[in-house]
Each structure stands twice: as C-alpha cells, then as structure tokens.
Chain A
Amino acid sequence: MTPPDAGPVAAGLQIRGLSPTREVLANGVTILSKQTTTTPAVTLHASLLVAGSTSDPASLAGLAHFVSRTIDRGTTRLSADEIAEELDGRGVSLSVSVGRHALSLIATCLSEDFDAILSLLAEIVTTPTFPAVEVDRRRGEIVTMIRQDEDNPAAVATDGLMAMLYGKSHPYGRPIRGTVDIVEGIDRAALQRFHAEHIAPDAMTLAIVGDVEPGRTLDVASRALGHWTGMRIEKPTWPPLPGAFGRRTRTIPMMNKSQTDIAYGFTSIARSDPAYYAYSLMNNILGQYSLGGRLGDSIRERQGMAYYVSSALDANVIPGPLMIRAGVNPSNVERAVQSIDAELTALLASGPTAEEVVESKQYLIGSMPRTLETNAGIASFLQTIERFDLGLDYDVRMPGLLRAVSRDEVHEAAKRALDPSKAAIVVAGPYDGPLT
C-alpha cells in the first residue's frame, strides 16, 4: 500500500489542460467559457466581484445579503412571478449567494434553454427593481434565517470566531446576514444604492461551461450584456487587520442543544502570498487529508470524540481565517481543545513528515480531474482563476507549483500560522464550563 514511485496521476492528464477561453466585452464584462459535451446542459456562473458583504456600509451589515435575496425578484421588464415562470418552466433553479467578496448567480439549464436563461440572468443583474412588496416578503425570510442561525451552535461558533479574529471595525468581523435590527431597517432605496455602487460591467465575470459551441457563447453573451453601461468601480481598500493578540476564548452557552461546536482559528494569508502553496499543504496535512488530517486522526479516530473535525484555509483577496471546526459532546470540550492545541504544537515544533508532504501533494494534484469533471466544477474553477489572476493555464501549472514546495516551507507555514498561544477559540452549545 505504499505509493507507486511514478506517481499515480495518469500521464497526459495535465498536459492536455482545460484551455478555457477568456474575452472582455467593450464595457468590461469578462466572459470565461469552456465547451463540454458530457451532458446536454450548460452552467452559467456570474460573479460580481465587489458586491460581497465586505462592501456593506459599516452600519448596514447584511445589505449585500439582502440584495442577494431580492435581486432576482423583479426587473424593469419582468415581475417576480414572470421570472419564476421563466425559470420553473425550464426546470432551472437560479442560486444567488453572497460571500465576503462576491455576489454570485449560478444556474444550470438544458443547452436548448441557454439563450433564454443567459438573457434572463443578464436582465436580473443589470435591471433589478427591488419591488417594495418583494423586499418586505424577503425581509421576513431573512429575519427567520438569522433567528435560525442564532439557534444553530455551528453558526454561532463560526460567527463568534470571525468577530473575535477581526473585530467589529473590520468587515470580516461582521455577520454576513446582519442582525435582525439592521435588516428591519433596510429599505428599497438602500438595495438600489448598493446595486448602483457595486454592480457594474467591469466588476462582472461570467463563466459559461457546457454544451454550447464556443462561437455562439460570445455572441449570446454580447447580445445579453454588451449594451450594459455602469460607472467604473473603484478597487476596494481594506482596513488593516487587527494587531497581534494572545490567546482568547469565549463560551456561548446554548443549553437547549445536544452537541457543542468548537471554532478555533487564526487569521492566515492572502491568496497572493507566495507562501500560499505551503499553507495549502500545511492545512491539508493538519485537518483535511483523508478524514480530517492529523486532527481527524487524533480527535475522531483515536479518541472517538467527534463525528466531524477538520480545518479550512480561506486565503482570500485579503488574509482570511484558518479555521478548525469540531462538534463534540459537552463533556469533551476541554479535552478536544487540548487535543487541537497538542496537534498544532507538534506540527509547529517538528513540521510535517516527508511522507505527509508527498501524500498531500499527490492528493491535491490528483484531485484536479475530479474538480474539473462537471460543468459546475469547471465554472467555479474559472471564477477562482479570474478572481486571483491565476492564468488560463492554471490547471496545468498548479501541479508544478505544489511540487516545488519543500518540507521546510510547509514547516515554516505551520510556525507562522499555528501558534496555540495566539489562537482565538469560541465554543457554542450546551456547555458553560471553563475554557482556557
């Protein structure tokens, strides 16, 4: 069961490459496309790159999220019901979601519906009207979602950790959905203003992946989006990250629950940091590889304390969190936190083994064909390479970038990132005991 010397990735996989097409329309909209013929379907994935929650005014946390819940509920030409009919009749669900940096609209349709759905998507992005009646309906849904989050230990712990790591003065420290009080006060005018200020052609990237001839993709996209004009959007500036802190802990008792969620983390690095690939390997070894890496081995496999434990690295436009998550019985909270401490201490003291580095490289490189198997997978990949300026040949280059990382560099990343004496720890659930 030792890895074969030659490396298991089939020869030729990486040589052929995805080779997507990238075009920029005169108004600045970027179109990324890739024809596939696996199924008679197409995935459309639009990203509005400065319309994420970090664009919320400080006093209006949740505004971008509110936009994501209402942007597809009426345009200058179509009512919410007409949009619903258009989508439902073709079996298409449009998912609109918002992250820290981008607002995304994703739809998969049959190839025969491509023109119609792209036109509809363009209309939704460019001419939403945010009808007052829809704003009020969706407000009730958002308030309910926030109340559900308040009763969800996993959401409470992760929101609590972000607030602890970034502070209320940094947009990462504020909840994406906002608070009930703020949401109650958001009106149609605020949504329209957000749209005018943050959604414009030069901040839009549209990935089109599926069974459409490459020539037609651009024609249809140009027709749907080429006429759109909008102000140029300034690149956002970011407040400085909070300074260095010692270890901080917080317990949020939710005594009506069965299981306790632990969120344990640090600020990490930006995606553009040269150490990204070392961090990525470090994270894989720590809390991803196989069933949760070293953390999974210790906390789930050896100690039987948790059904889930893992780490996630969010190296983003700015340094996002490196977050460890675990769900444990309240009687195991202290032991689980100590075990996380111990695993971090070991990794930063001795670094990974040479074998771990080889295994994680093989895994991350070898998983590329799976990532790129489906239209939806390719579309997200194209959005990632565009957002972080990775180049259209990134799928071919990525294996080399990972292979070039040394064991020492992974160790260095662990030393930079994983010091338990600087960790922020939030525990939410049926636990009101000590936490150190």
Chain B
Amino acid sequence: MKYGSLVLANLLRKKFRLVLTIGSFAVALFLFAFLGVVRDAFGRGADVAGADRLVIINRTSIINPIPLSYREKILRIPGVKVITHNNWFGGVYKDEKNFFPQFVIDPENQRQVFPEFSVPDDQWNKFVQDREGAIVGARTMERFGWKVGDRIPIKTTLYGGGSWEFNIDGVYHGKRAQDDETQFWFQWDYFEERIPDRVKGNIGWYVLRVDNPDESPRIAKAIDAEFANSPYETKTETESAFAAGWVKQFGNIQFLIVTIGSVVFFTLLLVTGNTMAISVRERTSELAVLKAIGFSDRRVALFILGESLVIALVGGLLGLLLATLAIPVLANALNGMLPNLILSPALLGFGLLTALVVGIVSGILPGIGAMRMRVVNALRRV
C-alpha cells in the first residue's frame, strides 16, 4: 500500500468537494437500500408463502365472501390435509393512524396451517378457552406497549361498526426474520356472535395445506370445479401466486421501484463521473509529472480508479449504515402501512456492489483520459 498515501492525499485535496461527493453517494445508497427494502416487503408474501399451501377466495374478488359450509366439501377432496378459514376485520386501535391487520381465525386449525408462527402452548390454550381472547404479533405488542392480560378496544366500521373489546391472551413470534409479526388474531365464535345475521356463515378466504405440493395444481382445479356454477364460485391458487396477485393490486410496484432505483443509479454515476473528470482536469500537470518521472499510464489510471473506488466505498458504506439505522425507525413511523421492512444481508451486499460498480464506471473514463494524456502536451499547457 505504498501508493495509499498518494491516493488519500489526492482525495483530501478538496475536502468540501469530497464531503459533498461522499454525501451524495451516501444519500443515494440510503435511498437505494430503502427502495430495495420496500420492494422486498411487497414481494415478501410470495417469498414466505408455504410451498404446500393453497388459498381459496371468491372467484369475483377477495372482498366477496365464501360460505363456511364449503369447508367439509373441500376437506373431502383427495390430497387436502388440513384447512382453516380467515376473515378481515379492518379495525383500528383508538385512532385511524393506529392501523394493523386483524384477522378472524379458526383456532382449531390455525397453528397447523401456519406452523411458522409460534405461540407458547399455555397462552394458546388460554386463548382457545377465552371467547374474547386475542393472540397478537410481537411487533404490534411492542408498538402499542401492550402486555399479555391487557384488555384492549378495537374500533371497526365493518360488521355493524362499534368498538370490540379483546383480552390479549398471548403473543406470537415468527420463526423467520421475514415473518410478519404485526397481525392480531381473534376467535371465529366471538366474531360470528357479534356480526349482523345477513353476513353470518360466510368467511373471507380459506387456506389449506396439501399432502404433496406437486399435487397442488390438480387439487386447486378440483376445488374450483367442485363449486363451479354455484352462487359462490371459487378461485384457488398457491399462496405465493395469491401473494403476488395481492401486490399487483397496488400497481406495478416492482417497475416503479426499479425505475426510481435506476434513476438514482445513473444520477450518482453522472455526479461521481463529473467529479472525477474535474479532479483529473485540475491536476493535468501533476499527472504529467508523475508520468515523466516514470509512473506508467496504467498506474496513473489506477490511481484515478482507486480514488473513485474509495469515494464509492466510503459513501456506500455510510449510506448503508444510515439505512441500517434509519429503516427500523421508518418502519415504525409508517405504522404498519407496509409489511416488515427488513434490510437483508443480501440487499446490503447488493448495495455495496452497486456502489463499487458506480465507483469503477465513474473512474474509468477519467482514468483512460489520464492514461492517454501525452506528457509533452500536458507539460506545455502548464
């Protein structure tokens, strides 16, 4: 590293410019990481989906109900192992801004269908016996400062509206980092008891597990065929296809995020490339002197590339550090409007790689310019 001090000295020659360039790198990488996290969050449904799970909704749309009576018919279809049903509650805690997803669940089968969510047995048993009981995800418990044993009100504008009271009997945790820990589950019986008669006996969707995931297409087809031409036709698909379809409702999020990310990338490329080009132009004579005293064209180009890479690396690491610190704060500030925002090691690695690519690309052209510069011409210009 005998050339390190030369690269460092050159970088530090215009400290204000260096700070601005590194700063623009850091902000861009932060934005890049944040966009990546949002993109991942929207796509996570498909990632965390069980390979052996199918989701059945009303063929018209998910907001249309399906009869609970379908349950036994579905269970009779060969290959179906276990089935549960859910409903969307759509309530808030005290205030509109305190939104989080609440689901009506079937306590008998919930844990068998969703084994990735763990609840201590004693808490689960208490919940099963408590008609007004609820199991709450760890993140939501933390967000509102709830404790097991608390009685909390949830307001809803659906199902006749009003405030529903629940006893928190337990907390669930996801077994994987990406598992959603914001949900609120409560008993089907309590729900049925309070909703208007006209909607009783209907559920929002079924989720089932199959014996063999390879059989999923056949089973899905069989279920839909079973209810074809009925008033409540069904649409059955794998959980990952269902999650992907759900995200599509928000528009082409992937395209939007990739477009913004690309703009950030190219802006960064132009900013850094311009900075490096100015930096090389400013010291034409110095580079000429280095070449005169025996530094090869390649070595001079590598100095320029080295400077560009250091800027990219420092700026990139700062941006990713900022993202690591800020994303949990932003996730809380968004109040559960987005699914789990997780800055994964893969995303950090990709961010760093992107920074290095920008560093290399933005250093290449000025480096080649320095390489091609003729010493005699450069010295004559001095």
Decide whether A and B are members of one complex. no
